[in-house]
Chain A
């Protein structure tokens, strides 16, 4: 199967680039590479990538700045590559338009899955009012959600939360982002609300709420919807 999707890798580490090139080629993606932030910006314009993998620790520029510049005109998914223990950087990147992040060292399998979800998500921007995730379906036109074809009793907040997450399938949404979207700017610090509603929602939408498969926690950062 020949894909048309081109993936741009912006990373200064040659070994990481080589690994990604091998892995992605094996998965039949086209590859474009850039060693620096500046080169990355040029390549992004030239190679029309479907997705960009951006390392936050570039030698010539702050990764966040590159991200911001890309986001001025590039609306396709961007996945951030970063080191662990930099939660604040990750949150900053996500708040500045990154779709997802992955920490080094990473498992290539996981990375491929994220890439696949992100690309699919970006290409499936249809007006279909019906969102389906396995046994869960959400009907945006009727403001209803069903699990195993049984209508779920959701409060209006639960429903808004579910829709926000589902519409951004595969994307990591930070706590602050969700709080702002659902409750408004004044609630941005009230993470306890979010915890309570996530726990409630899980009880309604998950097969096993203590082992959630749809509404996933991203430690210290936020949530990601979808497997």
Chain B
């Protein structure tokens, strides 16, 4: 091996150290007062330290401190603000618990919380106090706490061995590593014993029992060694880290990397604990692997496996699950890829002949292929034996009774048929028939029934067919041999077939899940509203998991919406908790497990989306859980996209309306000001001095023109707002085009005076069904537009005709027409031609378009061949034959 320059820092390690530094800085600091057992004075030391901090002016309070009626300790409690304990009623006993929310709300700089390993009262938010402390730390509050060595997860086995007392209140080793500071509270065993006997730890009667059971000198010394060693290891590790961070030369990390091959036996749990404590003292990285094979786990095995997984998580060991039928190959491959230096496996258990062969083989193979990786085989103990017995009793009989009955029935029926034809086919052929039957049955039944079938068929063959008939006795040695072979072949055949089937079933389940996921992805892709996503999600979950579920999403203000009658207030608060902490809670979890529902967060890549509540009868198995979380990831991802899209849409709309508002204001404020200025100016002049009649008259005219312009602007704005708000409703009525044309010309008489104006209406023009008022406005705007653009004295023509159920109106002028590029834009709001006279708002033509479209018609603008603009309106209309009406009435 090439030795790389010792000084160089592994970039991954540097990154890790930086990352953990960063995380720590956001989080509050955790200081553990660590001791070997009760009575060494941890709480006392903690309170002392707290007093010192308080003297420095730090805001420090007591969250929860247990004085155990020790006088010295109780004295120290005085002078601190104490958060009142939360009282709860569980099974009609009043219990007190630390008030987590009150502490978080109070937000001191440091809070004292005694007994880290404490298990909370059922119904509390978290199962264990260390979860509470994690939450407090997350809020940036520093915590002082106390812990005994026997409560550390990885030490609990050893403690049980030393003291014979099983410790139930354990905390994951992780917290020991999370702690920023660990203060060892030590007391020589003799002193402790003396304190005990003086009744300073427990009251006199209690302490006698305690001394006899637990506080024996041997025990205490062993525990003390363990505690001292742990702290020493930690100090050592800190030194290493420090040197690494500061690039100090020295002995680097050994680069050891442990892989634990875990399984689904309680023994694996032990293996994990062992490996963890070894990794700590070896200063090695550690991870675990589980190789999933086609072998079906029993419910018990599944439960144990889940426990093992949780344990690994608590110990801070990452578990990789790999599917393969060759365990050795999978483990070795993985180990090589991850640069593993040590593989830890358990000593194989001998279950039966078969497993002895295969498992013995497993260790041999592992060692053979391991190359330069060290393989450690750890021995089993009574736990494994326990399981051994257990296992044998449940292994083969997993199928239900009816299956055994049906199998027996088949064998009997076929045997009877064979018996009838025995004389034609001979007894040897019968063995093939039965063999075929057993193999065939293996396609449909489990291992147990097949074992029965194999045994039953061999007995029947012997009894009914092999001569001498109707005895179990066999005369010929070859028959004996055949019967033996028959039995073995039947058995192997059956077991192999059922194994293939199991494998097939597993693959099928996986395929189904893959297919379902694909289907989900496709269904989700087809949704484009949040409601649709919810519908798809509900449908998918009820079809594929057959569980009751409820989805709660956040609202616009990033708050969870929980309008639901089915959930109790308590459960709704769990939903909020899950939403805020982005981790699951409720039934089958460590947080608030007393609820009927399990709550999972819906979290996309960056956005927090909501919470899903499910009512689970049984906890998810490992496979189901992965499948479930994959589905949730997909669903959350889609929700996130929809939420983001909505946000983008809202932003766009806001931007659009903002733009409109600005344009409107820019345009309108200018247009409003000019006539107002004219009116003000002219009237002011008229008021201030006496002018000759002639000038007065001119000023009056100006005021008049300005007011007309102002009125027109207001009309346009009102019409525009009618269009924008969609309040245009057609009031169609029969209309004489002559009337319409005359009305429009009459209203614009003044404006049209300088022009050669002409309306053309064919004499056979029928009555048309239109909204008179709207169309009058349309023509008014168009002709006004022409008067503003055409030179004085030129022709303006309005031509009507009726063509095949369409009313067509042309308005033509001899102005400059439109720039070719602008022809599509002329009906846009606020479009102003470059040569437009002042006085327009750029609204007139867009009103035209709106009103014509309200008639389901179209309006187009184009340039005339010989100059000028032409507007063409085409409106589908109902008509009446005038001559018929005349006949009707007269």
A195-B889 contact, Cβ under 8 Å, with A219-B743, A219-B776, A220-B773: no
Among B731, B880, B889, which residue has its beta carbon within 8 angstroms of that of A157?
B889
- Bound CA–CA A105/B679 (angstroms): 16
Q: B69 near A: Cβ within 8 Å?
A: no
Chain A, 184-227, contact with B by CB distance < 8 Å: what is the 0/1 string?
A: 00000001110111110000000001111000010110000000
Per the 8 Å Cβ criterion, residues 157-183 of A in contact with B are 157, 175, 183
What's the least CB distance linking B726 to chain A, in Å?
Answer: 15
What's the least CB distance linking A106 to chain B, in Å?
Answer: 10
B733 engages A191 (CB within 8 Å): yes
A192-B773 contact, Cβ under 8 Å, with A85-B718, A212-B742, A219-B743: no
Residues of A within 8 A of B731 (CB): 87, 220
Residues of A within 8 A of B733 (CB): 175, 191, 220
What's the least CB distance linking A193 to chain B, in Å?
Answer: 6
B736 engages A198 (CB within 8 Å): yes
Interface size class of B (residues with CB under 8 A): 20 to 34
A217 engages B743 (CB within 8 Å): yes
A192 engages B880 (CB within 8 Å): yes
Residues of B within 8 A of A157 (CB): 889-890
A210-B742 contact, Cβ under 8 Å, with A192-B767, A198-B736, A219-B772: yes
A192-B890 contact, Cβ under 8 Å, with A84-B715, A105-B711, A220-B733: no
A217 engages B885 (CB within 8 Å): no
Chain A, 67-100, contact with B by CB distance < 8 Å: what is the 0/1 string?
A: 0000000000000000011010000000000000
- Bound CA–CA A193/B889 (angstroms): 8
Chain B, 748-762, contact with A by CB distance < 8 Å: what is the 0/1 string?
A: 000000000000000
What's the least CB distance linking B245 to chain A, in Å?
Answer: 78
Residues of B within 8 A of A192 (CB): 734, 767, 880, 885
A193-B718 contact, Cβ under 8 Å, with A210-B738, A217-B739: no
Q: B668 near A: Cβ within 8 Å?
A: no
Q: A155 near B: Cβ within 8 Å?
A: yes
A87-B773 contact, Cβ under 8 Å, with A157-B889, A157-B890, A192-B767: yes
Among A155, A195, A209, A211, which residue has its beta carbon within 8 angstroms of that of B767?
A195
Q: What residue in chain B is nearest A84 (Cβ atoms)? A: B715
Residues of B within 8 A of A175 (CB): 733
Residues of A within 8 A of B91 (CB): none
What's the least CB distance linking B306 to chain A, in Å?
Answer: 73
Residues of B within 8 A of A155 (CB): 890
Per the 8 Å Cβ criterion, residues 690-733 of B in contact with A are 707, 711, 715, 718, 722, 731, 733
A196-B772 contact, Cβ under 8 Å, with A85-B718, A217-B743, A219-B743: no
Number of A-B pairs, beta carbon distance below 8 Å: 53
Residues of A within 8 A of B882 (CB): 196
Residues of B within 8 A of A209 (CB): 738
Residues of B within 8 A of A195 (CB): 734-736, 739, 767
What's the least CB distance linking A224 to chain B, in Å?
Answer: 13
- Bound CA–CA A209/B772 (angstroms): 19
A217-B742 contact, Cβ under 8 Å, with A195-B734, A196-B886: yes
Residues of A within 8 A of B880 (CB): 192
What's the least CB distance linking A82 to chain B, in Å?
Answer: 14
B773 engages A199 (CB within 8 Å): no
Residues of A within 8 A of B886 (CB): 196
Q: Which of B715, B733, B739, B882 has the most CB of A within 10 A?
A: B739
Q: What residue in chain A is nearest B735 (Cβ atoms)? A: A195
Per the 8 Å Cβ criterion, residues 839-890 of B in contact with A are 880, 882, 885-886, 889-890
What's the least CB distance linking B866 to chain A, in Å?
Answer: 28
Chain A, 83-125, contact with B by CB distance < 8 Å: what is the 0/1 string?
A: 0110100000000000000000100000000000000000000
What's the least CB distance linking A173 to chain B, in Å?
Answer: 15
- Bound CA–CA A220/B746 (angstroms): 16
- Bound CA–CA A197/B890 (angstroms): 11
Residues of B within 8 A of A183 (CB): 889
A105 engages B707 (CB within 8 Å): yes
- Bound CA–CA A220/B770 (angstroms): 10
Residues of A within 8 A of B707 (CB): 105
Residues of A within 8 A of B743 (CB): 217, 219
Contacts A105-B707, A217-B743, A220-B771 supplied; 16 other A-B pairs, CB < 8 Å: A85-B722, A87-B731, A87-B773, A192-B734, A192-B767, A195-B735, A195-B736, A196-B882, A196-B885, A199-B738, A209-B738, A210-B741, A210-B742, A212-B742, A217-B742, A220-B733
18 A–B contacts from the bound complex (CB under 8 Å): A84-B718, A87-B731, A87-B773, A105-B711, A175-B733, A192-B734, A192-B767, A192-B885, A195-B767, A196-B882, A196-B885, A198-B736, A210-B738, A217-B743, A219-B743, A220-B771, A220-B772, A220-B773
Which 6 residue pairs across A and B have the least CB separation, nearest first? A192-B734, A220-B773, A195-B736, A191-B734, A217-B739, A192-B880
